[in-house]
Amino acid sequence: MNKKLHWATIPGISVVVLGILISLSPLGRKIAANGNDLYLKLKVLNDIIGIVNDYYVDVPDWDEVMEGAYSGLMEKLDPHSFYIEKKDISGINEEFSGKFEGIGIEFDVLDGYITVISPVAGSPAEKVGLEVGDKIVKIDGESAYKIKREDVSKKLRGPKGTAVEVTIRRKGVGDFNVTIIRDEIPLYSVSAAFMADDSTAYVFVNRFSGTTSDEVRKALQRLKSEGMKWLVLDLRNNSGGLMDQAIEVADLFIEGRKMIVYTRGRIRGSNEEFYSGRIDGYEDLPLVVLLNRGSASASEIVAGAIQDHDRGLIVGETSFGKGLVQRQYPLRDGSAIRMTVARYYTPSGRLIQRPYDGTLEEYYEDLYTENRDSLLAREDSLQARPQYQTAAGRIVHGGGGIAPDYYIKYERELSRDTYKLMRHPSRILFEYTTQTAEEYKRFKTKKDRFFSKFEISDKDFEKFLEMARVKEISVDYEKIRKDADYIKMMLKAELAREFWGYDEYYKVIRVHDNQVEAAVQYLNEARNMLVRAAR
């Protein structure tokens, strides 16, 4: 309902009252002490409200107008401070606990469009192949241009089993439609934990929520009983979460009383230091941490502490560079703001936060630069970034994000037709493996043989393509055949999920993941680091 602010027709009274309140408040005293001209700005704002209220062509919807003003104010502070409407509070809070039903993406509204920052591991969005940087330009045929952040969840979330069609815009590819079947989005943190071989363990942590450290600890206990002697900790596309959980996870691997992270801000309580102290951790376990540009915030706290203490090696790509600490403040109408109050620093003193001098769009577009790590490794770039030393004297650079000790680019070159087939709304891979699982059921009791010997045959691959033809999926099947090895792997992974679950699903995929393969190769060097540190 449209509401008219009658008080705004006499702006002088409101400004006087507002001025008195500000001058008497702690905020007002700070403004006066700092010599800021905020009082004038508030009078200008009041003038604008009064003029709009009295002379705008229509009666303003002040709920909508003021919420836009609140959002704009927060967005001007930094990329990670924002206003939360009352109706969205429960949705925001459940990101770190409980469950919800929807498609499962981390997103932001950039350049007017919903932009995928990261698909949630195991979610419907990941299964249909949504990628970092994809823009959702339509939802169920309706334009999503300039959609409000708070309206995104309203459009994309919905009961399990219902469908939503989104139109995706991807760089270098024409717009295409994807139908996504909503599902319960699991908010567990450990997507997969398995033994890659007799001694090498792999743990994939997708977020840092209220149960993360407990989940990781339980996973490590199980893997230790299965023979774990080395560990690859995969934090790729982990967009962060709760700082205390990141500290507890890092504490699992760092011995003694050593700094994990510290924060600096200007309010009381924002300058804090956090140290390790567990006595039942895994400080002697050779460790490699995998990062990519989707690894942010809490992920960077863990990786930064591991790297600065020479506790393990970082492999992959330079991380996102989100080093701002937010606190949520409730407002009197039931809404809230989540605002930056401090910055994260690694033990060596590196600021994790990437510079954000430009627009919000520029801030994220920089992240998607194809040769980002090569640009960061240039001599002129390194000279411009502050230099720090790890505990053992290795040189590391500040300036935002955690740079890997060994840069390994993720390699996966597939044809557009293969992508189209993989993301088809019929969920052709899932349907094929569901229909043929009975034929392969003999492997259900022979897991080891399944992983070591079983492969999708050429004959079965042709059956899969025939199913696609029957469904009249319009793709170039000759181009599809060029990606046969990848599709066979995905079919095998779907079978593994059908038989045993997501640990086994990811085990099939990660065996063919070049960054994971590289991480395993560096485990011996990680062990040598531990040996040198013990001398």
Which residues are tagged catalytic?
A: 297, 308, 322
Cα–Cα distance measured from residue 374 to residue 387, given in angstroms and rounded to the nearest whole number: 18
93 CB-near residues (< 8 Å, 6+ apart): none
Q: How far apart are the first and last CA of the chain?
A: 72
SS3 313: strand
DSSP label at residue 58: S
Q: Report the distance separating Cα 16 and Cα 20, nearest Å.
A: 6
Buried b (16+ CB within 10 A) or exposed e, 352-374: bbbebeeebeebbebbeeeeebe
Where do the DSSP E strands lie in 127-189?
Answer: 135-139, 142-143, 163-170, 173-181, 183-185
Q: What are the DSSP calls for 248-303, one per residue?
A: HHHHTT--SS-EEEEEE-SSTT--EEEE---SSS-TTS-EEEEE-TT--THHHHHH
As a whole number of angstroms, the distance between CA 322 and CA 235 comes to 14
* C-alpha distances in Å from residue 414, one per residue of 120, 294, 421, 486: 22, 21, 11, 8
Instruction: Note whether 430 and 494 are within 8 A (CB).
Output: yes
Beta carbons of 162 and 146 less than 8 angstroms apart: no
What are phi and psi for residue 262, nearest 5 degrees? -140, 160
At 6, list the tokens.
Answer: 């009658």
Residue-wise burial string across 431-464, b where 16 or more C-beta atoms lie within 10 A, e elsewhere: bbbeebeeebeebeeeeeebbeebebeeebbebb
How many CB atoms are located within 10 Å of the residue 249 CB?
26
